[in-house]
Structure 1
Amino acid sequence: MTPSAGQPTISVVVVSRRRPEALKRALVGISQLRYPAFEVVVVADTAGLAAAKDLPFGDQLKTVEYETPNISAARNRGIAHAAGEVVAFMDDDAVPETGWLHHLAAPFAKPEVAAAGGYVRGRNGISFQWRAQSVDGTGAGLPLAFTGDDPVVLTPDGQRAIKTEGTNMAFRREVLAELGGFDPAFHYYLDETDLNLRLAAAGHKTAIVPRAEVHHGYAENRQRTAARVPRDLSEIGASKAVFLRKHCSDGQRDTVWTAFCRAQRRRLLAHMVAGHIMPGDVRRLMRGLQQGYAEGLSRALGQMPELTRAAEGFAPLEVKIGPQVVIFGRFWRKKTLLREAKDAVQDGKSPSVFIFSRTGLFHSVRFDPAGFWVQRGGLFGRSERRQTLFRIGGFGARLRQEFQRVAAQRLLSETLLPKRLQTKQQAQKRSRT
């Protein structure tokens, strides 16, 4: 497929290490994106590449083997193999909504936009893990408040940059090449924040795109457990040292570092009180933080690679995507509904499944590795956490409400609902056709 006017070609870069199953799930989600021309570059260890190549579309992926635990260097490898006009990044423990690239690409129709970032939902698939922030040379973020769902193009003010989140961000490739990509001195943590500040220093504009949503699971890695309990803080300390050397004034660094250490200690004490770690672990992790900081003070800075255009050219993912369908029912039919969803995937369709019980249970949303979205919860329970604790209503009204909550992000048409649940205008339009 060829993009229409204003739709750039996009390279989606996914870096993975020691999480082959999470990577497969992420790639299945990416394969269902509804965007006319995008390629996928996977930078991973041996196990990750084997998992990626085992997928039905594995032979269409651009794959780069990389074993070193350095997120910046790995992303630069991805950029070097990316041939799209725009390079988007997503983590291997995340899954994009079907309309992710459709929405994330839209601001790039304006030539002054160099970067874009979307919203990130957390493990329950409902609450937001990340929306929008600005950031300064100390690394301190401030929330940016927006009304509505339309993209907002922001210009840095000279003191603060527009922050993008690493699991949901995109940049013009030519701008990345000019800036040298990601600084490999940041092995883990603050890598994209450093790039944001360099973008701001160059005067580039960034768009915040609320409807470009990614679901992020925070899978375990060598730095943290699956419950987000720290295993090692040395790389965080090293990256903080590098960041302050590059962006913070000499007179501020000690104060900023001291405040950062106190915040990390409070975080560890909270985990200790919760029973996740022992007092000795707090001491060990804080020692690692200090040792990492000392090591980061001596790391070489600014050793940026040359990011030439990919020699192999643009290799769009050509996966036949069938129609989207909505499958819904009550909790006692769960097994049947999930079986219907798996059958629909086998038929080339993209299902969204809604399963409601007659309870007040909170809702959750997840992407099943088989290739479909499923939302579960009580008919009277909350989905958005700002809603009232207990809601009265019938099944049809709740289905329509939850469908509308995700329709724009997932590019769902209201015609997928039963006719009785469609708006009057949509039902009339459907009857005319």
Structure 2
Amino acid sequence: MRTSVIVVSHGRSQALARALTALEQLTTPEFELVVVADGPGIAAAGRAGRIKAIRFDEANISAARNLGLAAAAGEAVAFLDDDAVPLPDWLDRLVAPLSAGAAASTGYVIGRNGFTFQHRARRIRADATHLPLPDAPGLYPPEDGAPVKTEGTNMAFRRAALAAIGGFDPAYRFYLDEADVNLRLMAPTAVVPEAIVHHGFMASARRRDDRVPLDLTEIGASLVVFLRRHGADEATMARRIFDQLAEEQSRIFRHLRARRISRRKAREIVQGFVAGTDAGKACPLPPLAPLTEVPPPWLPFHPACTGATRRFSGRPWSLPALRKEAAAAVAGGHRAELFVFSPSTLYHRLSFTGAGVWEQRGGLWGKAGRNDPLVQVATFATRLRRESAKAPLRAAD
């Protein structure tokens, strides 16, 4: 099934460049790549003649995604955030259920340490609350009006199905945009746990890179728009605004207690949420018409990495030289992994570097996964074998 991958970006050109580097390492031999970004993002994306690049300077993720959808010529469309990187087999796994007839699919998302899941499978209800789903792959129909929630940074749809419901609602400038699509589509959705994306929460106008919020205006506005769109009565509206505000205040208090933000900034953030709810109540909500625009012709994108995976390992004092070797391997058309173990019990972190290398660092005896013992008993060779066996590129070999 021909697939268009859509990446939207605003104010994060460096993150976008890293995401596109990861897409160059997909095992999918051909797909279409559509980038919707502001001026600096388009410049960072480069790849003239290989991608469909659309300049869009407004900070509205729904409108940007609709521009990408209008340009996409694939039968399927997959979405990736600019601060996320997929594993090499991500697209093949994510789109496979659509080829079998599913209308939508979603994968799992790993957080900033590179090991812990940020999002797994769940349902979304009309009051914007979630219900759990089994931790298993499958095609899940809506249940009691609650469809599977696709994760915005790791989701795919049949293009025709998404266009028929009007795509994304521009009233959601940020937050709940994909959940709204799920409720309007109300279709069986595939959960694909092995379609994995790493999502790092890079800094933006709304939050710092340590996840401290800077502005909750759009969160408040989108929550109210969502509740209005999906028939919430006044009591439900009041309850959900209260619950969300309490949740946000609790999070802000934790940051305040840790001295990550000032009291003044904390008040400003809360006031922004309240102002957002008022804006959401006043926002016009016109009906959404099907998207009927015919996209431009298919533009095939062929990933640059076609060679075998190269693995590098060593101690921290060898890190500069190892990074140089690994980056050279990527430049030569290979995927590369780098393992660096110090003589310590430091926790491990796994990240995808701007040079295109999957880099895992930590103590030789340190914990990597959530369920690992606090202290590992291992030699360098045995630890390297253990971590290599579960490394991100194992499926690319």
What range describes the TM-score normalised by the shorter chain of this pair? over 0.9
Q: 2:65 aligns with which of 75, 99, 103?
A: 75
Instruction: Provide the C-alpha distance between the structure 2 equivalents of 1:356 and 1:305, rounded to a whole number of angstroms.
Output: 55
Greater CA deviation, 325-334 or 360-369? 325-334
1:222 aligned to 2:205?
Answer: yes
Give the structure 2 partner of residue 386 of structure 1: 371
Please say if 1:300 is aligned against 2:284: yes
What is the alpha-carbon distance in structure 2 between the residues aligned to residue 302 and residue 172 of structure 1? 24
Q: Which residue of 1 aligns with 2:337?
A: 352
Conserved? CA contact 1:95–1:215, under 8 Å: yes
Q: Could you tell me how far apart the structure 1 residues matched to 2:173 and 2:45 are?
A: 24
Question: Which one of 10, 16, 41 corresponds to residue 17 of structure 1?
Answer: 10
Gap change, CA 1:192 and 1:302, over 3 Å in 2? farther
State the one-letter code of the partner of 1:39: E
User: Shift of residue 358 of structure 1?
Assistant: 2.5
Q: 1:406 offset after TM fit, Å? A: 2.9
Trace 1:272-283 onto structure 2 (pairs within 5 A): 272-283=256-267
Structure 2: which amino acid aligns with 1:14?
A: V
Q: What pairs with 1:140-289 in structure 2 (closer than 5 Å)?
A: 140-147=129-136, 151-200=137-186, 204-250=187-233, 251-289=235-273
The one of 45, 49, 59 equivalent to 1:59 is: 49
AA aligned opposite 2:142: P
Counterparts of 2:291 and 2:394, CA distance in 1: 33
Within the alignment, does 1:35 sit opposite 2:35 as a pair? no
Match of 1:366 in 2: 351
* 1:244-303 Cα deviation digits (max 9, x unpaired): 112243142212221222112112211111112222223222222111111111212244
Q: Which runs of 5+ in 1 are unaligned?
A: 1-7, 414-433
Instruction: Give, as a single letter, the amino acid of the residue that structure 1 aligns with 2:110.
Output: R
Shift of 1:306: 4.3
Number of aligned residue pairs: 395
Can you give the 5+ residue segments of structure 2 that lack an aligned partner in the other structure? none
Indicate conservation of the 8 Å contact 1:82/1:310, yes or no: no
Higher-Rg member (1/2): 1
TM value normalised by structure 2: 0.95
- Deviations 1:19-56, CA, capped at 9 Å, x for gaps: 11111111111111110321111001111111112xxx
Matches within 5 A, 1:116-155: 116-147=105-136, 151-155=137-141
- Equivalent pair of 1:119/1:212 in contact (CA under 8 Å): yes
Q: 1:412 to 1:37 in 2, by over 3 A?
A: closer
CA apart distance, 1:322: 2.0
Is 2:94 the counterpart of 1:110? no
8 A Cα contact 1:97 1:410, kept in partner: no
Letter in 2 for 1:159: G
Q: Take 1:22 and 1:300, find their aligned partners in 2: how far apart are those partners?
A: 33
1:14 positional shift: 0.6
How far 1:369 moved relative to its partner?
1.2
Tell me if structure 2 keeps the 8 A contact 1:99–1:410: no
Aligned to 1:312: 296
Residue of 33, 40, 49 corresponding to 1:47: 40
Aligned AA (2:223): K
* Amino acid across the alignment from 2:390: R
Q: Is the 8 A contact 2:162 2:185 kept in 1?
A: no
Letter in 1 for 2:232: S
CA contact (8 A) 2:6 2:77 kept: yes
Which residue identity is paired with 1:317?
F
What CA distance in whole angstroms lies between the structure 1 residues aligned with 2:307 and 2:210? 36
**Aligned equivalents of 1:122 and 1:14: distance in 2?**
19
1:395 positional shift: 2.5
- Matched to 2:210, the amino acid is A
Q: 1:184–1:303: 8 Å Cα contact kept in structure 2? A: no
Instruction: Tell me, in whole angstroms, the C-alpha distance in 1 between the residues paired with 2:394 and 2:105.
Output: 19
Give distance in 2, aligned partners of 1:305 and 1:31: 35
Q: Deviations over 1:288-344 (max 9, x none)?
A: 211111111121224435423543211111244222222223333322322221221
TM-score (norm 1): 0.87
What is the CA–CA distance in structure 2 between the aligned matches of 1:143 and 1:359, rounded to whole Å? Answer: 38
Contact 1:42 1:61 in 2 (8 A): yes
